Structure 1
């Protein structure tokens, strides 16, 4: 036997085993006093325990065992999970600046290239968020003018459903079209016809984007982006479609470069282009095509999928609970009647309807975890030290199902938002739009859309399932990044 060869083999095995362990221990030491967490594999961290289909359930179990602040490891990268209302309030609001960063979520980064508002941090994020909020308000967000845009789309939606004369429909595309046209009227200055090829392409891209984000494939890509890129799959076509969408947005912006009244921009793109012209001589300006194109994708995608998915789920729950649907319709008939369309001013006089909309959002738990944050500096919290640049995941689901905060946390029940006298009751634990500095940019728009679309639909139709209510499945189809509700067929029976 060749002794030299045998010793070399032994030495190789020792190095192969010990070197990763030594590197892992060294790295763990660098991270100091991180919060506690489960036992891990030195090479893979907690990946073998990770549920790529429903990661939030894994996080919930960890929080029950280790408390409101937990550390897990994705390979050699630490991730801090924060759960429970008090801990989220103390970190996302009380330490808002420290936790205001956005971590690199590879699939979202692929769509935005690190520009815009969703995937950015620091000065760029602050500048883009400030501009977006100001411009959205200028175009009516939170005001009566946006209500008129939404009502117009609600009328189109109702008329389209009436054409089916009570026969079976699949409402998913119709709801998506209506909601998307609201944001299109702000971003592009006009609505699209439902059959417009460009409109259909953008909607399909958004739909594919969210489905992959919320699939095991998306979760694996976010952990191993370079590796997963080597394998075939739907993500490759998505990346091509995202690039095509970006080119469309850029063409729309370039078409406005030589037009527009600086004192009266007609849409969001024109407002940004005018700002680009104002700052064209500033070398460090954030007003350039890269930020605009990614900002448009942020607004278009977020302003489409979340609200339309919530509306789709709300109709499913009305069919599952026909007694709730009947009570909502009775309240609408008494307050609004049939001679006019619902208005946002009716909300205070429709407490039960408002409670239904809120508990649809709470119980569906559309975004169980917020898009990952990161710490902007070394941050001490609850006796632990979370180093600068650490990924932080706010577990919103832990608040929305907390039995200490809700009457009936584990099921859909409008009583969660009603007091003993049947009046609408606010609850600070309603965190479906996240919390703190990174709260949803379009929250005011989404709230207005949900109320006006839902009340308009229930005013004009009774929705019935194609199976008995007890056989309806209301569980989501994808549950990782977001809990995407099921598509279905139903009957929309005209009431008038």
Structure 2
């Protein structure tokens, strides 16, 4: 009898706590269970499709979730997504205990921070990256060096595997600004780090893993082999960045900074007596790591999708080449200055980024103070998932969002027209720091490659699929292309 009473009492407490987890007037959402919350209903793959499909139809554009006892929102639909991206109270970042544990147990860098620290670091980073490559001339020089090297390699091949084809070239462009260093495509250490990061991007989800939802279980359950592998990957990258920073410290000339790392180190020395300074060696290492992670993968996958749609739509590829020949001729390479004259090229690149965005969902946000959204009560520290894909595939706006149709971005005069719903790089204060660099890199690689080569599906291979690999960043499924020199 005593045992039964204890069980009933335990269940009563669990039920009470469960009832208390959902605040009044919180948005509707999938069923939630005691302790687990809505975790069992979270999609493992392509959550952006579920959010803007089944969930939006059943619950509306704002869906309430519970990650254990942690409150969360899944936001879809053009009006609500754009509102959340521009409202200050939704611009925080949630604490990821797993990531923080490996980053000196502090909130550092550009990705996982918010507030005054993040604002000052972002301004500093953007200002000084401009000094070492964000200017048009220097940026173009860095990009074209990588383009030329890749073209030399491609000229010697009949077919090539597209997966990760652009990753090291894209990373080299950013890393040259950061550290003054570039790497060959076959650099073993860098390849090992990038392959590890690719596994993290492919296996990760925006809502986090089970032990991120229930961090208390880390004290009870042994660390999994997968988690240990995750730690090893991050440590390899941290050690790589640490070594680069230490090399800069040994050769630093405060009167002649060579790159962003030098500039940050000089700022550290200037503020070494300021107890409130945000500039620390640990902060520099994490900032470099954040830029490293973001620098290559998104550009690589965007260019991969560009080549994928060219081989799937040969008539579009031919139209791109006709415009390049008409506007530029064959005697000179494209430049950033040519961008405003290549209307069809811009339409094609924009359509690729719309139909298969590499960032389908924003890096999770956090509500920094109690607020409301669409009439619902949203408490402080609510975790927010923001669905970019829902804008890029809104049927009412685009008409046929599943169709690859670059002409949707051209007016009656065949002039490229921007669309405010194209938020591939985000919007508001959290807009991607590297948008200009990424856009110019994609433009120069794409136009130069299409000027030099034609691409098709190899005769002995099946037609590649457009369904992307799932993960924190979308990527094309591995495929090969046949390369033909244009004559």
Task: Give the structure-1-normalised TM-score.
Answer: 0.91
Q: Please, which of 160, 168, 182 is the counterpart of residue 177 of structure 1? A: 168
Indicate if the aligned counterparts of 1:332 and 1:459 stay in contact, CA closer than 8 A: yes
Runs of 4+ in 1 over 6 A off after TM superposition: none
Q: Structure 1 351/108 Cα, relative in aligned 2: closer, same or farther at 3 Å?
A: farther
Indicate if the aligned counterparts of 2:204 and 2:472 stay in contact, CA closer than 8 A: yes
Is 1:148 the counterpart of 2:119? The answer is no
SS of corresponding position for 1:156 = helix
SS of corresponding position for 1:98 = helix
Q: Structure 1 280/119 Cα, relative in aligned 2: closer, same or farther at 3 Å?
A: same
User: 2:233 is matched with which residue?
Assistant: 241
- Deviation by residue 1:225-267 (Cα, 9 ceiling, x = unmatched): 5658735344422311211221221222122224334344111
Please list every run of 5 or more consecutive structure 2 residues that lacks an aligned counterpart in the other structure. none
Which deviates more from structure 2 when the two are superposed, residues 274-283 or residues 459-468? Answer: 459-468
C-alpha distance in 1, partners of 2:315/2:364? 39
SS of corresponding position for 2:358 = coil
SS of corresponding position for 1:380 = strand
Q: Structure 1 224/467 Cα, relative in aligned 2: closer, same or farther at 3 Å?
A: farther
User: 2:315 is matched with which residue?
Assistant: 323
Indicate if the aligned counterparts of 1:111 and 1:239 stay in contact, CA closer than 8 A: yes
Is 1:18 the counterpart of 2:16? The answer is no
SS of corresponding position for 1:262 = coil
- Deviation of 1:357 (Å): 0.5
User: 1:482 is matched with which residue?
Assistant: 473
User: 2:177 is matched with which residue?
Assistant: 186
User: 2:361 is matched with which residue?
Assistant: 369
User: 2:27 is matched with which residue?
Assistant: 35
Q: How many residues in Structure 1 have an aligned counterpart in Structure 2?
A: 482
User: 1:92 is matched with which residue?
Assistant: 85
User: 2:70 is matched with which residue?
Assistant: 77
List aligned pairs for 1:365-444, cutoff 5 A.
365-444=357-436
- Deviation of 1:108 (Å): 4.6
C-alpha distance in 2, partners of 1:458/1:221? 46
- Deviation of 1:110 (Å): 5.2
Q: Structure 1 17/226 Cα, relative in aligned 2: closer, same or farther at 3 Å?
A: closer
Q: Structure 1 110/161 Cα, relative in aligned 2: closer, same or farther at 3 Å?
A: farther
- Deviation of 1:434 (Å): 1.4
Is 1:223 the counterpart of 2:234? The answer is no
User: 1:208 is matched with which residue?
Assistant: 199
- Deviation by residue 1:433-460 (Cα, 9 ceiling, x = unmatched): 1121111111111011110011111111
Q: Structure 1 384/231 Cα, relative in aligned 2: closer, same or farther at 3 Å?
A: same
Which deviates more from structure 2 when the two are superposed, residues 196-205 or residues 182-191? Answer: 196-205
- Deviation of 1:213 (Å): 2.0
Q: Structure 1 102/336 Cα, relative in aligned 2: closer, same or farther at 3 Å?
A: same
Please list every run of 5 or more consecutive structure 1 residues that lacks an aligned counterpart in the other structure. 1-6
- Deviation of 1:85 (Å): 1.9
Indicate if the aligned counterparts of 1:63 and 1:83 stay in contact, CA closer than 8 A: yes
Task: Give the structure-2-normalised TM-score.
Answer: 0.93
